[in-house]
Structure 1
Amino acid sequence: MVAPSRMSTARALRSGVDARVTASLLARKGRFGGVDDAHGWLADAARGRRMETTRVPIDELAGWRRDESNGYLRHETGRFFSVESVAVEVRGSGAASDAAESSGVTRWCQPIINQPEIGILGILVREIDGVLHFLMQAKSEPGNPGAAVQLSPTVQATRSNYTGVHKGRSIPYLDHFRDPVSGALVDIRQSEQGAWFYRKRNRNMVVEVGDEVDVLDGFRWLTLGQIAALLAVPDLVNMDTRTVLACLPGGGTALSGALSSASAGGFRDALGRSADPGAPAVHTTEEVLSWITAARTRTDLSVESCPLHGLPGWQEHDGVISHHSGRFFSVVGAHVRAEGREVACWSQPMIEPAGTGVIAFVLKRIQGVLHVLVHARSEPGYADVVELGPTVQCDPGNYAGLPASARPRYLDTVLSARDVRFDTVLSEEGGRFLGARNRYLAVEADVEPAADDPDYRWLTLAQLDELLRHSFYVNIQARTLVLCLRAAAVG
């Protein structure tokens, strides 16, 4: 049992961090200019960092080999990642990926990326003029739409990268994250896309530095408010930045107080109250944890390796592995030439989705407190069967021609909603996915799941904030939406 004095100290420390994070979120101008200056910096960086991605057949990828026994695609070093395949069966409550949601499918086979290495996604933070600034990087990835430069973390590296397997240049600022003695505001492992990665985890970190650090070309200090403003621009803030910043403390009473004084009785007031751990909630945190445990217990998810050659439901044609229906995703090959990267030229396989997805939170004010409808969702790559996902997470194109009963719950509610609080198309991890984009929405709607519905619950932002302090509770799509709501809080 933790002594009361230690608990009081921990609360005081957390309150102090909440206040500092809130102050940075409200700051649209920092030491180095405002939002327009950040746009200009990114535009300048884009002119000096060309990247060219050319599609090639997967069997012609330099440095990659097909395993004769099963058809798996592996790098010749045995490192980085491999493209494998699994046979999936899900029983019990909870939908597992688009394939399971479509017409009640509970068994399927699919390719999947296996990347067992735990990489580092790290952002340096420093207090400048009394406001927290985050050291962001202008970086392009081969799968970014148009290979565009995006706002990326200070460090974004796999273990193979930072141990030098790629034989490229060293990674700037890495030492701050390898073994931080102190100053870690965030240090937690989190999952990535469970539909495309098999048990992929990365170490999400925000590390505060007290002394000045050299700001290299391609890096810039920005406030959280400036980053929040950039989040409204399509495809500009990359996935790794979003997951790391979502794990920051959510502002608590500091954010609640700031928003309540600015918009009493309005949406921002309700959102601010949602960030307050003391505000009334539909369920207690203990009830939420019990619900998640029950969902993980009742969902029987079987994921077994199977050969990629002749994978049921999939075909190989012209060097591409695709689903016979043309839906879901394909595995393609890419050759990359890059300027300003640790390695100037390489080849790799990538996952290319069939369409643009819809990822959405349905919101509702309950007793004046904004609540988020979350979905206990299972995907084949999750480490612990179930994580909390958005209300809606799907590619609507996968349901074209199917009866209305086959469409994901609440999809039509989201697409027809009038009270839209956030709406931006954002791209996913460009290091492994080619042109993967999703429309992220947060909408208010008067919906009411059945009282005995085992898959959905209303949570406050404070409850999501508490879960985000731990691994594998909130999936990566929901983490992005949490950050989007914080951005909506400041307009």
Structure 2
Amino acid sequence: MPSPLLHTPLQARADVRAPSRIALSAAAAEGVQLDTEDFATWLAERGRANEFRVDRIPFAELDGWSFDGRTGNLAHRSGRFFTVEGLHVTEEDGPYGDGPYADWHQPIIKQPEVGILGILVKEFDGVLHFLMQAKMEPGNPNLLQLSPTVQATRSNYTKVHKGADVKYIEYFAGPRRGRVVADVLQSEHGSWFYRKSNRNMIVEATGDVPLLDDFCWLTLGQISELLHRDNVVNMDSRTVLSCLPHPDAAAGALLSDIELLSWITGERARHAVRAERVPLAGIPRWKRGESAIEHEDGRYFRVVAVSVRAGNREVTGWTQPLFEPVGQGVTAFLIREFDGVPHVLVHARVEGGFLDTIELGPTVQYTPENYAHLDARDRPPFLDTVLRAREDRVRYEAVHSEEGGRFLNADSRYLIVDADEADAPQDPPPGYAWVTPAQLTSLVRHGHYLNVQGRTLLACLNATAVTAR
């Protein structure tokens, strides 16, 4: 019997209306459900409606988690969720593949399953609205933040934990109930996850969608305003929003698309990176105590354990390990205009957990405290330029936390900073390139080109353009 696909009518290769519909939603400062000025009140109400509590505990009080007697790896008795293991990374291309050392050991999270990060969109009064969730994550500094409609690991939505169903999962993991706007595998933090990817999805609903507690409909313009507030829009929302097909407002670029892809390929080829999983027990310069695994110098991050109560989650109580960085990060794009076209300076970053050697990251992505002991010549490029930037050169600044389901109090100052030739030359150092926001939007349609911090800044860059209009 012939496949029905052979008789499917030809379709347009792209939805030409999508960018204009996105632009219309971005221009809408108010939505059908909430005025933006009322959002903080709504979020606070959702916080009061549910019980949230996170307590640090010693490793011995973890329920279902234990250290393997042979490898020292920290794992759950179900064999699911994730494990904390050791990683040994060597990078032969000099010290600034990722940091000041070309050979290092560290703990790493191994979570091979692919999660779903999905935002449901629907048109109200001719304007696209995004269904967002007030979601508690144990690692969030303020616990409750705005997450995608669905934010679930495979273990969650297949109910390994024997908890309640993930709300709205049927729009993303079941028979199609809408039209796909974006669907792409994207990496998570390459410094803390080993080859972890999530499916970033945006689906437009075609029928009625029930509005459940803890969820709200917002326009893209409203979300753009919230992206200017500290610790409101969570990391998973930011990475999905970066995948939106925004209009291409600029045709010119210093590098053509072919030249940019060639440069990325060249960067992947010139870095000889070897990342090997090793037993967690006995990795050099890391020590395990009753309540933490930490570096002997007190830098980088530590592995800790927490007990969680969350009234609005599929499971209302559990314990788990979390990674806790030492100090607040600084993550920034330097931005310049060439012939009137904005360009941002990207860095081809080597991170031990990346699937394909390098991904494009921000100009600066560091925790300053980790480099405070180094001489000026050994500090990461452009870090001091960002730290010393005058206030009138900062186009965007907000504090955003990283993935609160795995990282505790992990936040960074995200900035977009105007630069000149003295700060960042048109011919940048090796490993850096000037690209347009439109080129990043094109690249992010494909997986493993732009890292999660770069995707956050792309979402913030788009939000800045919206608020400027």
Which range, TM-score by smaller chain?
Answer: over 0.9
Query: Normalised by the size of structure 1, how large is the TM-score?
Result: 0.90
Describe how 1:306-321 pairs up with structure 2 within 5 A. Answer: 306-321=278-293
Distance, in Å, in 2 between the alignment partners of 1:463 and 1:143 is 33
Distance, in Å, in 2 between the alignment partners of 1:362 and 1:78 is 43
Distance, in Å, in 2 between the alignment partners of 1:58 and 1:299 is 38
Whether the 8 Å contact between 1:94 and 1:377 is mirrored in structure 2 is no
Aligned to 2:54: 53
Are 2:13 and 1:10 equivalent residues in the alignment?
yes
Are 2:105 and 1:130 equivalent residues in the alignment?
no
Are 2:140 and 1:139 equivalent residues in the alignment?
no
Letter in 1 for 2:74: L
The 10-residue stretch of structure 1 (37-46 or 212-221) with the greater mean CA deviation from structure 2: 37-46
Distance, in Å, in 1 between the alignment partners of 2:376 and 2:426 is 19
Are 2:465 and 1:489 equivalent residues in the alignment?
yes
Question: Can you list the C-alpha shifts for 1:366-419, whole angstroms capped at 9, x where unaligned?
Answer: 100110100011100001111000000000000112101121111111122231
SS at structure 2 position matched to 1:484: helix
Aligned to 2:375: 403
SS at structure 1 position matched to 2:427: coil
Letter in 1 for 2:417: V
What is the CA distance between 1:96 and its match in structure 2?
4.0
From 390, 393, 399, give the equivalent of 1:425.
399
Distance, in Å, in 1 between the alignment partners of 2:19 and 2:64 is 47
Whether the 8 Å contact between 2:135 and 2:147 is mirrored in structure 1 is yes
Aligned to 2:70: 69
SS at structure 2 position matched to 1:183: strand
Give the share of equivalent positions with the same residue, in percent: 51
Letter in 1 for 2:213: D
CA 91–247 in structure 1, closer or farther in 2 if over 3 Å, else same: same
Are 2:347 and 1:375 equivalent residues in the alignment?
yes
From 463, 466, 471, give the equivalent of 2:439.
463
Distance, in Å, in 1 between the alignment partners of 2:426 and 2:246 is 29
Report how many aligned residue pairs link the two structures. 454
What is the CA distance between 1:318 and its match in structure 2?
2.8
What is the CA distance between 1:156 and its match in structure 2?
0.5
What is the CA distance between 1:19 and its match in structure 2?
0.3
Distance, in Å, in 2 between the alignment partners of 1:480 and 1:180 is 30
What is the CA distance between 1:122 and its match in structure 2?
0.5
Are 2:254 and 1:282 equivalent residues in the alignment?
yes
What is the CA distance between 1:7 and its match in structure 2?
11
Distance, in Å, in 2 between the alignment partners of 1:305 and 1:191 is 18
The 10-residue stretch of structure 1 (219-228 or 53-62) with the greater mean CA deviation from structure 2: 53-62
What is the CA distance between 1:50 and its match in structure 2?
2.7
Q: Which runs of 5+ in 2 are unaligned?
A: 1-8
Aligned to 2:166: 171
What is the CA distance between 1:452 and its match in structure 2?
7.2
Query: Normalised by the size of structure 2, how large is the TM-score?
Result: 0.94
Are 2:131 and 1:159 equivalent residues in the alignment?
no
CA 490–451 in structure 1, closer or farther in 2 if over 3 Å, else same: closer
Distance, in Å, in 1 between the alignment partners of 2:407 and 2:80 is 18
Q: Which runs of 5+ in 1 are unaligned?
A: 1-5, 257-275
The 10-residue stretch of structure 1 (455-464 or 444-453) with the greater mean CA deviation from structure 2: 444-453
SS at structure 1 position matched to 2:25: helix
From 301, 312, 324, give the equivalent of 2:296.
324
RMSD of Structure 2 on Structure 1 (CA): 1.6
CA 369–8 in structure 1, closer or farther in 2 if over 3 Å, else same: farther
The 10-residue stretch of structure 1 (393-402 or 445-454) with the greater mean CA deviation from structure 2: 445-454
SS at structure 1 position matched to 2:191: coil
SS at structure 2 position matched to 1:442: strand
Are 2:120 and 1:80 equivalent residues in the alignment?
no
Whether the 8 Å contact between 2:97 and 2:271 is mirrored in structure 1 is no
The 10-residue stretch of structure 1 (39-48 or 177-186) with the greater mean CA deviation from structure 2: 177-186
Aligned to 2:115: 119
Question: Can you list the C-alpha shifts for 1:331-359, whole angstroms capped at 9, x where unaligned?
Answer: 00111111121111101011000010000
What is the CA distance between 1:311 and its match in structure 2?
1.4
